[in-house]
Amino acid sequence: MGVVATTTAGTVEGRRDGALVVFKGIPYAAAPSGALRMQAPVPVAGWDGVRPALEYSAAPPQLPLTPGTPPLWRPADGLDCLSVNVWTPGGAGDRLPVMVWIHGGGWKSGSSGDPAHDGAILARGGVVLVTFNYRVGFEGFGFVPGAPANRGFLDQTAALCWVHDNIAAFGGDPDNVTLFGESGGGLSIAALLTAPGARGLFRRAIVQSPAARLLHQDESGRIAEIIAAALGVKVAELATQTPLALLSVQDEPLAAMEADPGAWTTPEAITAFTPVIDGITVVDKPWLALGSGVARDIDLISGSTHDEFTLFALGRGLIQPSASTMLKGLPTFARMAARGLRRNGLPPTPRRSRLRTVDVASTAAHLGLPPSAPAAYRAAYPGVTDAQLYTVMYSDAMFRMPAIWLAEAHTAAGGRSHVYDFTWASPALGGILGACHVADIPATLGNTDSPLASFVLGGPRPPESLLRLSEQLRASWISFATTGDPGWPEFTPAQSLTRIWNSEPTVAVNPLAASRQIWQELSGH
């Protein structure tokens, strides 16, 4: 039986799912096509009658996992992708806490329609849960002469405006909105904390594994030049190229970035489409921008997984499971590929081969650390291999330290912060991943049967320890969204009290002290 809600653009019909009502594919902006392509989002035209909101909209343009696997987006799907989805246990006038999830995917992939991002389980905890699409890849973050930078971030702000203006009709409280998101979604939220256009649109923020990848505008222009050359056109003609044409060369800049990492401000060439510091949507590195105090009235949780970079080290051949584990794991990877898991930003299927070696001194230089850094890391982490040290250093540079810097800056400016370290170690592939990047997503949203969960949890049946952890973490996030209290003490630079998310959560004092000291002394971030 359908249930209707009235938005500023018209009436929509959702579907009842037990105690919830679910609305999918509600447009929050017009399709970014034709004259609107590569431009800032504009309001969607209103409609008469009742519009069905029963299915997800098209995903943003992006490539399929591998040739021959089902694509998440096809050219025939078009560009009408700017939509929101709502799971609600209430109705108009209930003023329930609102939680808005921003997905990651390296700013070149991802969709709110991914089963890993389903909002039903969290919503059943008593909140209105919202997810949405935003433009990714060149459509969302590529340099186009005369067009705004960070169009994907402008989409995010437009989606938050939709929430502010409409969520009361779905039972939500527009004055009690909490943003939460992981990786690219986490950095998106970190930037939104100080973005002028997002001011007043949310009250609390949960930043999970913020991907510390930001470009200067001239670097974005250089990336566009490489893409234009690959297509045989001028940069000024990129906006007229089809989405599929742009996708076909989207990774061309990565070779140049990997060949000369010192010429780029990003520490690792994972994706060429990184947010640009434009002074408008991204006013500065978020951990620096927060120093102004502009976000001091927003409560913050910031944290990371303990072994962030093992997943990427696996894809680069720096770590490998044992031969017997690999034989057991390969069918799982094959299933993941068939179901398009790489749209979550995961590396390709690992293959059994000789392990790559790394030069720790070069790694330190790539990260902008001085020549003394390798010795400092070896002293802080005795007994680890060079590959393990590489993983620790990149985990610090790209995720762990930025999460702490956000809390430090926010606290120093008068804000309330809480810090966590997600340490639950995945049993997948013999345990070599540890608490890897994206391992916290199934725990956060409770979707333990998605393709992503199958991989990071080590199989189709989640361990009991993860189920207990997920229940506790979700209760904490909902408590924070409701009252501002996640259930552990506030962060202060002196004590750095940190929630350790494991099967039995605890609180520790400054668990990443060694890495924090190295970065404070050697880089000043």
Catalytic residues: 183, 308, 437
62 sits in the region (left: phi over 0; alpha: psi -120 to 50; else beta) called: beta
Which residues lie closer than 8 Å to 192 by C-beta, 6 or more apart?
153, 156, 157, 160, 179, 198, 202, 205
Which residues lie closer than 8 Å to 318 by C-beta, 6 or more apart?
355, 356, 358, 387, 390, 391
H helix count then E strand count, the chain: 18, 13
- Do residues 246 and 154 touch, judged by C-beta distance below 8 A? no
For 55, counting Cβ atoms within 10 Å of its Cβ (0-12 exposed, 13-18 middle, 19+ buried), the class is exposed
User: What single letter denotes the amino acid at residue 70?
Assistant: P
CA distance 260 to 193: 32
Q: What would the DSSP string read from start to end of 347-401?
A: PPPP---PPPP--HHHHHHHTT--TTHHHHHHHHSTT--HHHHHHHHHHIIIIIH
| Alpha-carbon distances of 480 from 180, 444, 486, 490, 504, rounded to whole Å | 11, 13, 4, 12, 19
